[in-house]
């Protein structure tokens, strides 16, 4: 199948599927076919053993804006319904996502956070100024106990980020002991005095965050030495085995990965990577007011994560051909200008269909690289950046990204089903080639889940799916779409965009035909 190349401005002549046609900016009736077609071969009988770790669907909660305070935590004395200080509505909504892992306390905040300030009686905890995010004064009422207990309530693995930027080796070592030791030791006994007898299980531990930037503006050689020193004193206590994650690169900094792999190597279990779908860090743009060019440009930027992941993986393969060190994408997602009228530095933004599209395309890519990529934590969970949930006092709304994540829950810990397709594409304003179709498939407990994305704003996508068997499947479908590309949920209209049942498919022996509406995500379940 030939690829269809269009411009985002939609004014070119193209060769497409057996004919030549033009698209005008006015999209006059009859100028172009109403749909493009994709032929997808699905190898559902493959013996493929590549698993999509559930941790690919991880979350990130930083002390930033109203992510923690007002989002997760309101305190036991709040009139907002809560369970031991945690918002009940938020807790229930997150449980439906089967959150596998939660990263805390930062972000940039992590390398200014001193954990001793967040334990003990609330009235004895010192306040701190959040210098990175708006200069907010925090009372430290949400600390180690509150975070780890929250993870227990959610049923997820905690991922704790230690302070390398402004903290000491001793401080980090004592924190690990405080959380995980069951011995008759000073830190374990201090934990007991603060109300927790048995230690928590803490698997994931990050030794610093963005140490190339807000975490200290370090060179990779210097950080490598610091990592080796700090990690040495992060001990395993009482049967708890730490999975240590080194601070990795931002985006296209391949030298950082090279140095870390060379100088740290097997002293780390994971190496992080950060990648945001940001077009211009100086002018990020509005979350809700954008045009067609903006739509395709951010889809192009998010899809570029594939080449970034691949190149970092290739470097890691040079030093670690047996793939014993994992890639951890512990910050990713969209980042827009803050909503007008909100606190500067709190990074509160709305969430539209466009954000859900970015999430879907990104996750489809992540699934392909889970031979090395073992965790991805979207930024962030509540009220910040590409969040799952927005809150206002006692109100809560679910974002399009939340609904997308819920659609993709069946992919967690499922086996990849190999596929092959070629997509029509266009060139965005930055000359990136943007594929108009994206897909992923997995199999778990005898059920196959196929997720497909049509990012085309105007045209349907007809997908002809060839199966490698003639099994008659029971098929059901779900769709996330909207009339307008900027549709979003508000506190006045919380259900403006959400998933709906989908029946735009027909099946025959060894084949399924699906018509994806413009700007839609569809998931089919085959039993």
Q: What is the CATH number of the domain that holds 507?
A: 2.60.40.1180
User: What's this model's pTM, rounded to 2 decimal places?
Assistant: 0.93
On whether the CB atoms of residues 157 and 204 are closer than 8 A, the answer is: yes
pLDDT of amino acid 15: 26
Same domain, 488 and 404: no
Taking CA 53 as the corner, what is the angle to CA 51 and CA 57, rounded to the nearest 5 degrees? 140
Same domain, 95 and 31: no
On whether the CB atoms of residues 353 and 487 are closer than 8 A, the answer is: yes
Dihedral (C-alpha) 479, 482, 488, 489: value to the nearest 10 degrees?
-60
pLDDT of amino acid 33: 65
Strand, coil or helix: 254: helix
CA distance 359 to 16: 28
On whether the CB atoms of residues 38 and 420 are closer than 8 A, the answer is: no
Same domain, 285 and 146: yes
Residue 122 per-residue DSSP state: G
Same domain, 437 and 402: no
CA distance 244 to 204: 6
Same domain, 221 and 317: yes
**Count of the separate structural domains present in the chain:** 2
Q: Using the CB atoms, write b or e for 303-319: b if 16+ within 10 Å.
A: bbbbebbeebbebbeeb
pLDDT of amino acid 32: 55
CA distance 159 to 170: 20
Same domain, 224 and 87: yes
Strand, coil or helix: 379: strand
Please spell the DSSP secondary structure of 400-416, one letter per residue: HHHHHHHHTGGGTTEEE
pLDDT of amino acid 23: 26
Polymer length in residues for the chain? 527
On whether the CB atoms of residues 386 and 344 are closer than 8 A, the answer is: no
Q: Is 20 left (phi over 0), alpha (psi -120 to 50) or beta?
A: beta
What tokens were used for 480? 């996330």
Which residues, given as ranges, of the chain have pLDDT below 70?
Answer: 1-33
On whether the CB atoms of residues 197 and 237 are closer than 8 A, the answer is: no
Same domain, 256 and 381: yes
Do the bridges between strand 204-207 and strand 243-250 make them parallel or antiparallel, or are there none, so unpaired? Answer: parallel
Residue 111 φ/ψ, nearest 5 degrees: -90, 15
pLDDT of amino acid 11: 28
pLDDT of amino acid 249: 98
Same domain, 258 and 295: yes
Decide which of 412, 427, 457 is a domain's last residue: 412
Domain that holds residue 451: 5-49+417-526
Please spell the DSSP secondary structure of 69-104, one letter per residue: BTTTB--TT-SS-EETTEEHHHHHHHHHTT--EEEE
Q: Is 383 left (phi over 0), alpha (psi -120 to 50) or beta?
A: left
Alpha carbon separation from 93 to 87, 115, 406, 499 (Å, rounded) = 10, 28, 10, 15
What tokens were used for 223? 């950080």
**CATH number of the domain within which 323 lies:** 3.20.20.80
Decide which of 412, 445, 470 is a domain's last residue: 412
pLDDT of amino acid 22: 24
Catalytic amino acids? Answer: 210, 331
What tokens were used for 349? 């933004």
Same domain, 42 and 177: no
Residue 267 φ/ψ, nearest 5 degrees: -75, -5
Alpha carbon separation from 387 to 61, 218, 257, 305, 398 (Å, rounded) = 10, 29, 28, 19, 9
Task: Count the neighbouring beta carbons within 10 Å of the beta carbon of residue 189.
Answer: 13
CA distance 279 to 336: 10
What tokens were used for 411? 């992919």
Residue 110 per-residue DSSP state: G
Same domain, 32 and 109: no
Same domain, 383 and 494: no
> What are the pLDDT digits (tens) for 42-62?
998 888 899 999 999 999 999
Q: What residues contact 360, with CB distance under 8 A and at least 6 apart? A: 404, 408, 438, 451, 453, 521
On whether the CB atoms of residues 15 and 23 are closer than 8 A, the answer is: no
Decide which of 390, 412, 434 is a domain's last residue: 412
Residue 488 per-residue DSSP state: B
Same domain, 360 and 241: yes
What tokens were used for 358? 């970015």
């Amino acid at each position: 199948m030939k690829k269809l190349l269009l411009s985002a401005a939609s004014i070119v002549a193209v060769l497409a599927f057996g004919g030549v046609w033009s698209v005008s900016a006015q999209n006059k009736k009859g100028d172009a076919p109403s749909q493009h077609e994709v032929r997808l071969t699905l190898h559902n009988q493959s013996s493929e053993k590549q698993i999509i770790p559930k941790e690919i669907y991880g979350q990130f909660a930083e002390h930033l804006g109203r992510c923690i305070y007002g989002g997760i935590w309101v305190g036991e004395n709040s009139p907002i319904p809560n369970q031991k200080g945690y918002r009940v509505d938020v807790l229930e909504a997150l449980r439906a996502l089967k959150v596998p892992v939660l990263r805390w306390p930062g972000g940039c905040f992590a390398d200014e956070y001193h954990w001793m300030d967040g334990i003990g009686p609330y009235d004895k905890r010192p306040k701190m100024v959040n210098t990175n995010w708006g200069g907010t004064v925090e009372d430290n009422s949400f600390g180690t106990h509150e975070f780890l207990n929250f993870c227990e309530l959610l049923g997820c693995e905690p991922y704790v980020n230690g302070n390398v930027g402004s903290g000491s080796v001793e401080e980090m070592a004592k924190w690990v002991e405080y959380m995980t030791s069951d011995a008759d030791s000073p830190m374990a006994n201090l934990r007991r005095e603060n109300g927790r007898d048995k230690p928590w299980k803490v698997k994931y531990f990050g030794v610093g965050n963005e140490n190339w930037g807000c975490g200290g503006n370090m060179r990779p050689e210097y950080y490598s030495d610091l990592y080796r020193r700090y990690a040495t004193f992060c001990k395993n206590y009482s049967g708890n085995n730490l999975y240590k994650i080194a601070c990795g690169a931002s985006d296209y900094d391949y030298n950082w990965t090279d140095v870390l792999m060379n100088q740290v190597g097997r002293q780390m279990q994971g190496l992080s990577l950060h990648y945001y779908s940001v077009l211009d860090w100086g002018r990020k743009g509005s979350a809700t007011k954008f045009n067609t060019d903006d739509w395709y440009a951010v889809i192009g930027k998010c899809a570029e994560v594939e080449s970034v992941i691949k190149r970092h993986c290739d470097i890691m393969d040079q030093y670690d051909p047996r793939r014993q060190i994992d890639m951890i994408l512990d910050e990713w997602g969209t980042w827009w200008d803050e909503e007008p009228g909100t606190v500067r530095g709190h990074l509160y933004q709305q969430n539209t269909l466009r954000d859900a599209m970015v999430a879907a395309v990104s996750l489809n890519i992540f699934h392909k690289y889970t031979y090395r990529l073992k965790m991805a934590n979207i930024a962030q969970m509540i009220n910040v950046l590409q969040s799952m949930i927005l809150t206002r006092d006692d109100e809560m709304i679910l974002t399009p990204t939340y609904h997308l994540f819920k659609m993709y829950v069946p992919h967690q810990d499922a086996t990849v089903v190999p596929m092959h397709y070629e997509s029509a594409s266009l060139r965005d304003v930055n000359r990136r080639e943007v594929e108009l179709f994206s897909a992923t498939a997995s199999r778990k407990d005898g059920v196959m889940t196929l997720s497909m994305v049509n990012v085309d704003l105007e045209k349907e996508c007809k997908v002809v799916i060839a199966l490698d068997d003639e099994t008659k499947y029971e098929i059901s479908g779900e769709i996330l779409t909207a009339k307008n590309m900027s549709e979003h949920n508000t506190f006045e209209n919380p259900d403006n965009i959400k998933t709906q049942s989908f029946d735009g498919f027909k099946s025959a022996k060894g084949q399924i035909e699906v018509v994806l509406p413009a700007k839609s995500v569809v998931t089919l379940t085959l039993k």
